[in-house]
Structure 1
């Protein structure tokens, strides 16, 4: 596997402008079951899968009888926003340019397979995406490393030569636990300082900013097998 390098991408908040829609859907779903959580707190949990998010927001000692209903309510509420989903600036160009440079492009998202199908239609560049891994493929979602490791496995890629791109601290933590360097983007609402403090090798404003500065980033090299070294947070 050492000759295959993967560029692994989170999707929500990194490639598609959906973070705040998830925030609203989760807050409304929780409220339906009399769990009132401020949306600022909900936003900070977006990027986790539902298996981690509810424990994070409600505590792991709670009764779980309502969990399935909350998850189903979130899915239904979020689906209302599907027609308006759009790629973030530079997202599609970034995927295409990484593929052009020889990277194996992989999506590694905490979304369900149903949501991932929608997100892939929004991005409309399946021809440059080699593999996709979602929450349905693993037992634990981010910040556990399972999604990153599963994405590497699907791509047949070496973790030492691969790079993960994400917008949330949960992405940075998952990548670190999987032994993969992480490039952060601020488009999901986490700041440069927060992402860097968690261990992001570099941080960019969004996918467009990363694309503009690609040559000096961890993704700047062409083809697999070269050492990964970054310029640090910009």
Structure 2
């Protein structure tokens, strides 16, 4: 009997919705309000991590303590007010997840975003109704590149790592998934180059390219095709 992928762990920022630049700007602006000035590039390259990892690296602050807690709170406010209303999903993001849902895959969002941010991003990306569950930085002690969020998503979906794929856009997605025994399909639409996404079983331009590839396959064969991708570095 052919083996099939049963579940999909889904990053949202930079994978389905064009939000990575916005997150970086919100962090930079929030830090500046507390007279902490960091280069945009230094923040941007760390988007995909949660604030628990990002803040110590760019500003030597801790997200849950003192000034770090204030910066994180202000970052949330700036992002929601100034950036979230203007974000757009990548082309064919909704169609891709709808197709995977129709193919019978269990879809679990697995994001380093906070629970509050993730809920809003799922709505903006148009995939909320196709997602069977979600794990965020609130569900894990450590965010990506630690495997905690991936492991929590596997547990929530009652999924085996070998029968599951991660779809993400950063090296942190790949590292977190690998530590949990899950293979990753990576997209470059989040701003990372193909050379930065080593370890993924496939590197594609974004949702549209994967949708185009899968749309050519009978829908009942999609889980088998994904399993084949997970077992060969395409």
The alignment yields a C-alpha RMSD, in angstroms, of 2.6
> 1:204 — aligned with what?
204
> 1:175 — aligned with what?
177
Cα deviation code 1:36-93 (max 9, x no counterpart): 11111111011111111112223479xx631101101111110122211221111111
The structure that is helix-richer by fraction is 2
After TM superposition, give the deviation of residue 164 of structure 1 in Å: 0.2
- Establish whether residue 18 from structure 1 lines up as the match of residue 40 from structure 2: no
- Looking at structure 2, the residues matched to 93 and 183 of structure 1 have their Cα atoms a distance apart, in angstroms, of 17
> 2:69 — aligned with what?
68
Q: Tell me which stretches of 4 or more aligned residues in structure 1 moved more than 6 Å.
A: none
* CA shift in 2, pair 1:22/1:60, >3 Å: closer
* CA shift in 2, pair 1:225/1:130, >3 Å: farther
TM-score, scaled to structure 1: 0.88
* CA shift in 2, pair 1:40/1:117, >3 Å: same
Contact 1:139/1:146 (8 A) holds in 2: yes
Deviates more, 1:119-128 or 1:221-230: 221-230
Contact 1:7/1:165 (8 A) holds in 2: yes
* CA shift in 2, pair 1:127/1:224, >3 Å: farther
- Looking at structure 1, the residues matched to 80 and 111 of structure 2 have their Cα atoms a distance apart, in angstroms, of 17
- Looking at structure 2, the residues matched to 3 and 190 of structure 1 have their Cα atoms a distance apart, in angstroms, of 29
Cα deviation code 1:106-151 (max 9, x no counterpart): 1111111211221122133333211111111111111110111111
Structure 2: which 5+ residue stretches go unaligned?
Answer: none
- Looking at structure 2, the residues matched to 195 and 9 of structure 1 have their Cα atoms a distance apart, in angstroms, of 16
> 2:124 — aligned with what?
122
Contact 1:152/1:159 (8 A) holds in 2: yes
> 2:114 — aligned with what?
112
After TM superposition, give the deviation of residue 221 of structure 1 in Å: 4.7
Structure 1: which 5+ residue stretches go unaligned?
Answer: none
Q: What SS class does the counterpart of residue 213 from structure 1 fall into?
A: helix
Contact 2:214/2:222 (8 A) holds in 1: no
- Looking at structure 1, the residues matched to 229 and 4 of structure 2 have their Cα atoms a distance apart, in angstroms, of 17
TM-score, scaled to structure 2: 0.88
* CA shift in 2, pair 1:84/1:44, >3 Å: same
Deviates more, 1:87-96 or 1:120-129: 120-129
- Looking at structure 2, the residues matched to 127 and 170 of structure 1 have their Cα atoms a distance apart, in angstroms, of 26
Contact 1:108/1:134 (8 A) holds in 2: yes
Deviates more, 1:160-169 or 1:115-124: 115-124
